[in-house]
């Protein structure tokens, strides 16, 4: 049986003020050659990413606020009209960054967000393994298809008196208990049980049979391109689960059947509220079944922020299946990939040579170019695509939160802390970084760098941190 473990999915705040390095992050509002041999497509084992191990615990809060007196203005304020950076100067700045034993092959691109003008390109159209930067494409497609305010409902219906069915709606963050702290809370099984028990007792029902329906998503529940070793990174996919199919801390075992585990948790919650469950079985809810209770997920933009900050493989795979369902296709990984490609093509972001085989970036068969990444980021910043803004507000801040909290640590990259916002990607022999930054002279840029087969894994991350810092400190106008 495939082992199941967990990775951290704790979500940090999206806006943090760092007095030591003197920065304030802000919301976007209205934003206007080297050798590249073929990369082997053979599946190889994941060296478990450390992307999620350094996350803080707060809920992301993307609302813009004014900078307190005496502190710098938000580094990600709206792009201002004016002169764009000089591309030759920027290229020289990037070329001046040298880190021993990086080598390897990379696809890189930098564009001005306000005008879309290309400023730097190194094999920018060459598609390489993207790792978790793939989540930027999945999030963009999901927001475009469903809308930023979309919510997923988990419902309870009754086909007949004394029988109820728990119906999964694909809420990636359905929790066992209500969350604590300020801000929006994910829907919970406890809340659904309270509403259900109240409705049943009002009808003088205290004993029920319980069915559970996870048919919104189709099989297989496990991507055949993923080795079993990925069991500590992602759960079996299901439209009905609790706590993302995880059983404890991180890492740790995952439940074998997430839908049944969710139904058991629901039955236990009903029992605490005076409703006894006599039987439990998988069923298909009928259209004629009467609604009893329901709970709704966080809005999709909050879900996207949360999954990007924590590099959440589970949530990304759920969203890929929702993209398929929204397009009228079966809710499978294969159909999700087709629908994602169609949507990004419609948006003008898809590039020839791209390959999508999952939503999280765990599959080594995925291929994406730097130019596709910066196109997606520019779409998310465009005034005519406000529905995509969470792709930017969900990006971790360098040195502060999420998968970038422990990055940008040396003298050559310290200036990038609080200024660079980016999605990381890490697999064995794959290190990627894609995001946005504001330069020292006020330009707002999108960038993407995808490194495959570096000579030294650690050095690859150091180069990514240093090169984006070099861009941010460039007075290149």
Boundary of a domain, candidates 251, 273, 298 = 298
What confidence tier does 105 reach under pLDDT thresholds 50, 70, 90? confident
Q: What gap in Å lies between CA 315 and CA 137, rounded to an integer? A: 13
pLDDT reported for residue 57:
34
For the segment 325-339, what is each residue's pLDDT rounded down to a tens digit?
999 999 999 999 999
Burial of 137 (0-12, 13-18, 19+ CB in 10 A): buried
- In the chain, % of residues over pLDDT 70: 82
Grade residue 250 by pLDDT with cuts at 50, 70 and 90: low
User: Of 240, 267, 298, which residue sits at a domain end?
Assistant: 298
Residue 397 in this model has a pLDDT that exceeds 60: yes
- Of 109, 113, 137, the C-alpha closest to 383 is 113
- pLDDT tier at 475, thresholds 50, 70, 90: confident
What is the model's pLDDT at position 283? 98
Same domain, 320 and 272: no
Shared domain for 250 and 312, answered yes or no, is no
- The answer on 334 and 192 residing in a single domain is no
Q: 323 with 362, same domain?
A: yes
Q: Is residue 141 a part of any domain in this protein?
A: yes
- Tens of pLDDT, residues 37-52: 222 223 333 333 444 3
Let me know whether 293 and 318 are in one domain: no
449 and 462, same domain (yes or no): yes
SS3 sequence, the chain?
A: CCCCCCCCCCCCCCCCEECCCCEECCCCCCCCCCCCCCCCCCCCCCCCCCCCCCCCCCCCCCCCCCCCCCCCCCCCCCCCCCCCCCHHHHHHHHHCCCCCCCCCEEEEEEEECCCCCEEEEECCCCCECCHHHHHHHHHHHHHHHHCCCCCCEEEEEEEECCEEEEECCCCCCCECCCCCCCCCCCCEHHHHHHHHHHHHHHCCCCEEEEEEECCCECCCCCCCCCCHHHHHCCCCCCCCCCHHHECCCCCCCECCCHHHHHHHHHHHHHHHCCCEEEEEEECCCCCCCEEEEEEECCCHHHHHHHHHHHCCHHHHHHHHHHHHHHCCCCECHHHHHHHHHHHHHHHCCCCCCCECCCCCCCCCCCEECHHHHHHHHHHHHCCCCHHHCHHHHCCCECCCCHHHCCCCCCCCCHHHCCCCEEEEEEECCEEEEEEEEECCCCCEEEEEEEEECCCCHHHHHHHHHHHHHHHHCCCCC
pLDDT band for position 10 (cuts 50, 70, 90): very low
Task: State the pLDDT at residue 248.
Answer: 76
Which pLDDT value is given to residue 253?
81
Give me the pLDDT at residue 33, please. Answer: 32
* Confidence at 387, pLDDT banded by 50, 70, 90: very high
Q: What is the CATH number of the domain that holds 277?
A: 3.50.80.20
Residue 259 has pLDDT above 80, yes or no: yes
Assess if residue 12 is contained within a domain: no
Q: Do 273 and 198 share a structural domain? A: yes
Q: Quickly state the pLDDT bin for 374 (edges 50, 70, 90).
A: very high
Say what the pLDDT of residue 179 is.
80
In a domain, 283, yes or no: yes
User: Would residue 179 count as lying in a domain?
Assistant: yes
- Structural domain of 314: 17-34+52-147+302-472
User: Do 286 and 311 belong together in one domain?
Assistant: no
pLDDT tens digit sequence for 227-245: 998 988 899 999 999 999 9
Q: Is 477 within a domain? A: no
Residue that is written with structure tokens 């609604």 in the block: 291
Residue 56 has pLDDT above 80, yes or no: no
Domain assignment present for residue 438? The answer is yes
What is the reported pLDDT for 50? 40
The reply to whether 382 falls in a domain is yes
- What is the number of domains present in the chain? 2
Taking only the tens place, the pLDDT of each residue in 284-324 is: 999 999 999 999 999 999 999 999 999 999 999 999 999 99
Tell me what pLDDT residue 380 has.
97
Is residue 424 predicted with pLDDT exceeding 60? yes
For position 4, what pLDDT does the model report?
Answer: 38
Indicate the residue among 268, 298, 328 that finishes a domain. Answer: 298
Q: What is the pLDDT of residues 192-231, one digit of tens each?
A: 999 999 999 999 999 999 999 999 999 999 999 999 989 8
* The two three-digit tokens of residue 292, written as one number: 């009893």
Q: What pLDDT does residue 80 have?
A: 47
What's the pLDDT at 135? 98
Indicate whether 17 pLDDT > 70.
no
The CATH number for 99's domain is: 3.40.710.10
Are 340 and 245 part of one and the same domain? no
Residue with the bigger pLDDT between 118 and 75: it is 118
Considering the chain, what is the average pLDDT of its residues?
A: 85
Q: What is the pLDDT of residue 252?
A: 65
Least confident of 98-112, 144-158, 393-407: 98-112
**pLDDT, mean of residues 52-76:** 38
> 131 and 161 in one domain?
no
Tokens standing for residue 436: 């946005």
From edge to edge, which strands make up the β-sheet containing 290-296? 276-282, 207-213, 163-167, 153-160, 290-296
Are residue 232 and residue 200 in the same domain, yes or no? Answer: yes
The yes-or-no verdict on residue 62 having pLDDT over 70 is no
Give the tokens for residue 42: 């053979």
Q: 71: burial class by Cβ within 10 Å (0-12, 13-18, 19+)?
A: middle
The β-bridge partners of 167 are: 155, 213
422 with 451, same domain: the answer is: yes
**Residue 419 forms part of a structural domain:** yes
């Amino acid at each position: 049986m495939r082992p199941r473990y967990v990775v951290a999915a704790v979500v940090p705040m999206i806006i943090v003020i760092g007095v030591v390095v003197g920065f304030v992050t802000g919301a976007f509002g209205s934003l206007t050659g080297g050798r590249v041999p073929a990369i082997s497509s053979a599946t190889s084992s994941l060296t478990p990413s450390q992307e999620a191990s350094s996350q803080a615990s707060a809920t992301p809060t993307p609302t813009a606020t004014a900078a307190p007196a005496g502190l710098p203005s938000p580094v990600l304020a709206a792009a201002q009209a004016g002169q764009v950076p000089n591309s030759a100067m920027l290229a020289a700045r990037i070329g001046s960054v040298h880190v021993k034993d990086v080598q390897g092959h990379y696809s890189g691109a930098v564009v001005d967000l306000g005008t879309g003008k290309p400023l730097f390109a190194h094999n920018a159209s060459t598609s390489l393994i993207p790792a978790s930067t793939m989540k930027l494409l999945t999030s963009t497609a999901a927001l475009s298809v469903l809308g930023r305010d979309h919510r997923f409902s988990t419902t309870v219906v009754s086909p007949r008196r004394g029988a109820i069915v728990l119906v999964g709606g694909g809420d990636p963050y359905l929790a066992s208990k209500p969350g604590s702290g300020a801000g929006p809370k994910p829907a919970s099984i406890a809340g659904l049980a309270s509403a259900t028990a109240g409705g049943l007792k009002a009808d003088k029902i205290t004993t029920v049979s319980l069915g559970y329906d996870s048919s919104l998503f189709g099989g297989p529940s496990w991507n055949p391109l993923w080795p079993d070793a990925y069991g500590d990174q992602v759960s079996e996919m299901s439209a009905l689960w609790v706590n993302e199919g995880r059983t404890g801390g991180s890492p740790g075992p995952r439940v074998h059947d997430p839908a049944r585990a969710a139904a058991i948790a629901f039955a236990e919650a009903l029992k605490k509220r005076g409703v006894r469950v006599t039987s439990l079985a998988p069923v298909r809810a009928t259209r004629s079944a009467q609604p009893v209770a329901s709970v709704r997920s966080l809005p999709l933009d909050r879900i996207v922020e949360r999954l990007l900050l924590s590099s959440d493989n589970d949530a990304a795979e759920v969203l890929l299946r929702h993209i398929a369902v929204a397009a009228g296709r079966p809710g499978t990984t294969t159909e999700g990939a087709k629908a994602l490609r169609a949507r990004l093509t419609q948006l003008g972001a898809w590039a020839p040579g791209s390959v999508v085989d999952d939503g999280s970036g765990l599959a080594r068969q995925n291929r994406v170019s730097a130019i596709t990444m910066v196109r997606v980021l520019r779409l998310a910043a465009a005034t005519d695509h406000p529905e995509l803004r969470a792709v930017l507000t969900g990006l971790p801040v360098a040195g502060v939160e999420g998968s970038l909290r422990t990055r940008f640590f040396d003298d050559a990259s310290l200036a990038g802390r609080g200024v660079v916002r980016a999605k990381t990607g890490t697999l064995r022999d794959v290190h990627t970084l894609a995001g946005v930054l504001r330069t020292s002279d006020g330009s707002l840029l999108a960038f993407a760098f995808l490194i495959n087969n570096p000579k030294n894994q650690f050095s690859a991350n150091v180069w990514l941190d240093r090169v984006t810092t070099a861009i941010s400190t460039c007075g290149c106008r």
